[in-house]
Amino acid sequence: MSLTTEIREPNAATDLKQPDMSRARATSWSLWTRQTLAIMRLEIKKNFLSRRALLLYLMAGLPLVLLSALALFPPPNDELENFSELSQVYAAIYGGLILRTLVFFGCAWVFMNLFRGEVVDRSLHYYFLAPVRREVLVVGKYLSGLIATVLLFSITTVGSVVILYFWRFPTESARYFFDGAGASQMLAYLGVTILACIGYGAVFLIVGLFFRNPIIPALLLYGWEWINFLLPPFLKKISVIHYLQSLVPVPMSEGPFAVLVEPTPAWISVPSLLLFTGIVLFLASLHIRRMEISYAGD
């Protein structure tokens, strides 16, 4: 179904026949939902099939390739030869490579380009000329980026667990995942990945809206997330990574110079990230109402 079919304004004559405010409000929500889904479908195709998607595929597939090579050509150390050490090995791989780097930059690439990419391609005005509320446009684009990043990095998270454990220790891994704590740990990592895409996605959506050159703000945010272990407890909590690390099932050692702080409980971490995402999307919606398109210099 085309975008022009889904995105249309309510007919004034029809609205006059419905004086009941609740019915009119329900009609508006129904229209906005259809518009959101129409925009989301269009944007999902861009996120998965455009040339920009190639970099996302490379980032999502990198851990799978590296762990496959590691399984075929294991280094001469005791950690990979001892099944009991694999949980610590995966915690280091997940925390250092997947979460802090690949998910971070994957979300930056996808969500910053949701609007900034349209400006560069000189195509954003087509959306702005359509009879659709700009808040609906923000939500539709955000959901499309969320689907792309959650799907690909969920495959990365689960696939890397399976490769690391089952390739070298199939029997022990089967017992660990089907009769032990392995399945719950993998689901916990998967949940952290999804929350990371939700939180970082909202951050980079608004970065792409506010900054003409979003690369510098993205690098500054990356530095802030990486030095989180050195920050005092109050500043630690002004970051996404603190709440994500509080949720990982196997904590990773941050070194002798880390400032120790109690992990934030899940019943606080999860609602905090969701509330933060909602606030950021609200600010993005306020900004886009006043946004004017200028392709000069892009």
Taking only the tens place, the pLDDT of each residue in 117-174 is: 888 788 888 888 888 888 999 999 999 999 999 999 999 999 999 999 988 888 888 9
Task: Detail the DSSP E strand segments found in 33-145.
Answer: none
Under the banding of pLDDT at 50, 70 and 90, the label for residue 211 is confident
Residue 297 in any domain: the answer is no
| pLDDT exceeds cutoff 90 at 193 | yes
Residue 295 in any domain: the answer is no
* Alpha carbons 10 and 141: distance in angstroms, whole number: 22
Under the banding of pLDDT at 50, 70 and 90, the label for residue 78 is low
The pLDDT score that the predictor gives to residue 153 is: 97
Residue 10 in any domain: the answer is no
Number of domains comprising the chain? 1
User: pTM of the prediction?
Assistant: 0.87
| pLDDT exceeds cutoff 70 at 71 | yes
Residue 294 in any domain: the answer is no
The pLDDT score that the predictor gives to residue 13 is: 46
Residue 296 in any domain: the answer is no
Residue 298 in any domain: the answer is no
* Alpha carbons 231 and 259: distance in angstroms, whole number: 7
Residue 278 in any domain: the answer is yes
The amino acid sitting at 33 is: T
Q: In which residue are the tokens 């934030």 written?
A: 264
> What digits encode the pLDDT tens for the residues 223-278?
988 888 788 878 888 889 889 988 999 877 666 566 777 788 889 999 999 999 99
Residue 68 in any domain: the answer is yes
* Alpha carbons 30 and 35: distance in angstroms, whole number: 9
* Alpha carbons 112 and 110: distance in angstroms, whole number: 6
Of 116, 144, 111, nearest in space to 240 by CA: 111
Q: Which residue has the higher pLDDT, 157 or 22?
A: 157
> What digits encode the pLDDT tens for the residues 26-66?
677 888 888 899 999 999 988 898 888 999 999 999 999 99
The pLDDT score that the predictor gives to residue 12 is: 47
* Alpha carbons 198 and 156: distance in angstroms, whole number: 16
Q: Which domain holds residue 73?
A: 16-289
